[in-house]
């Protein structure tokens, strides 16, 4: 499983996107799907940096991927603060402009784009996010 | 990300090149705020050379639109690629911000 570890900072997001773009290309996704996969991973990593590490400078994000017969599996590991994904509200975009709130948009995007989004939290191994996109 | 601006009679044109993610969105937000603080309430944002936008970037656009509307103006988007369109669709952005394919048409809408 190809793996790469990045500093848990917003400046790593572009490098993470490049790594995931390679993965999507190896898995044979078209440009539109590859873009969507990069978006899901960017949202996941942005949440880890902003909330998990609370923008602390010494956090790490480990990205792994596996090309599947019919898609791509991405595993993202971090050691920041865990959270309960069921407690993150689903954003409501069907409101008046002035009532729009950003909370939960990242997780919503991940779930909309990927076919499987699964979180595991472990005190020893850290937080594992597994996402699968099928063709 | 590189950001350039150009003043027209009825709006300001903002053009960004590169990615709009959690790292770069604050830079774009600052630029929009500078324009709005200078009394302008009409902004056209040219996305022809934006190659990525995350939810953080979309939020900057929606917050900018909120301020423009409060001041009886608007933000419009122009040259949105198909890839970018899918991010915009996820958040239903088109319900809040008009999108144009042509720069002249976008500027003419003010």
Q: Which tokens go with B90?
A: 């996820």
What whole-number percentage of chain B has pLDDT above 70?
Answer: 100
In a domain, B6, yes or no: yes
Label residue A124 by pLDDT band (50, 70, 90). confident
CATH classification of the domain holding B7: 3.30.750.24
Q: Which has the higher per-residue pLDDT, A74 or B94? A: A74
| Number of domains present in the structure of chain A | 1
What ipTM is given for this predicted complex?
A: 0.94
A10 with B58: Cβ contact below 8 A: no
**B14 falls within a domain:** yes
C-alpha angle with apex B18: B13 to B24, nearest 5 degrees? 90
Task: Say if the Cβ atoms of A105 and B66 lie within 8 Å.
Answer: no
Query: Which residues from chain A sit within 8 angstroms of residue B54, using beta carbons?
Result: 39, 42-43, 46, 106
What is the Cα–Cα distance from B50 to B58, expressed in whole angstroms?
12
Q: Where are the beta strands (DSSP E) in chain B?
A: 2-7, 12-20, 42-53, 74-78, 98-100
The three-state secondary structure class of A3 is: strand
Q: Which domain holds residue B67?
A: 2-103
pLDDT tens figures, A106-116: 999 999 999 99
- Chain A interface residues facing chain B, Cβ-Cβ under 8 Å? 10-11, 13-14, 17, 31-32, 35-36, 38-39, 42-43, 46, 49-50, 91, 93-94, 97-98, 100, 102, 105-106, 108-109, 112-113
Convert the pLDDT of each residue in B40-73 to its tens digit: 999 999 999 999 999 999 999 999 999 999 999 9
Give the Cα separation of B27 and B23 in Å (integer): 8
* CATH number of residue A66's parent domain: 3.30.565.10
Q: Which domain holds residue A77?
A: 3-134
Residue B2's Cβ-count burial label (10 Å; 0-12, 13-18, 19+) is exposed
What is the enclosing helix (H) or strand (E) of A119?
A: strand A116-122
Read off the tokens for B44: 């056209």
B103 has a pLDDT exceeding 90 = yes
Each residue's pLDDT tens digit, A21-53: 999 999 999 999 999 999 999 999 999 999 999
> What is the number of structural domains in chain B?
1
């Amino acid at each position: 499983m190809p793996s790469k570890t990045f500093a848990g900072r917003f400046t790593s997001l572009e490098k993470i996107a490049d790594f995931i773009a390679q993965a999507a290309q190896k898995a044979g996704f078209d440009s539109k799907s590859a873009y969507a996969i990069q978006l899901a991973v960017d949202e996941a990593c942005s949440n880890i940096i902003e909330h998990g590490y609370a923008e602390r400078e010494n956090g790490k994000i480990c990205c792994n991927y596996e090309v599947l017969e019919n898609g791509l599996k991405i595993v993202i590991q971090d050691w920041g603060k865990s959270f309960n994904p069921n407690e993150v509200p689903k954003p409501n975009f069907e409101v008046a402009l002035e009532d729009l709130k950003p909370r939960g948009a990242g997780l919503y995007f991940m779930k909309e784009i990927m076919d499987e989004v699964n979180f595991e939290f472990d005190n020893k191994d850290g937080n594992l996010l597994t996402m699968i996109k099928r063709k | 990300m590189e950001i350039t601006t150009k003043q027209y009679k009825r709006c300001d044109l903002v053009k960004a090149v590169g990615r709009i993610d959690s790292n770069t969105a604050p830079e774009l937000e600052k630029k929009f705020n500078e324009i709005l603080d200078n009394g302008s309430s009409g902004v056209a944002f040219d996305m022809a050379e934006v190659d990525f936008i995350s939810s953080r970037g979309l939020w900057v656009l929606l917050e900018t639109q909120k301020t423009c509307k409060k001041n009886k103006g608007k933000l419009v988007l122009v040259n949105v690629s198909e890839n970018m369109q899918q991010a915009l669709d996820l958040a239903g952005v088109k319900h809040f911000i008009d999108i144009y394919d042509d720069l002249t048409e976008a500027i003419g809408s003010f």
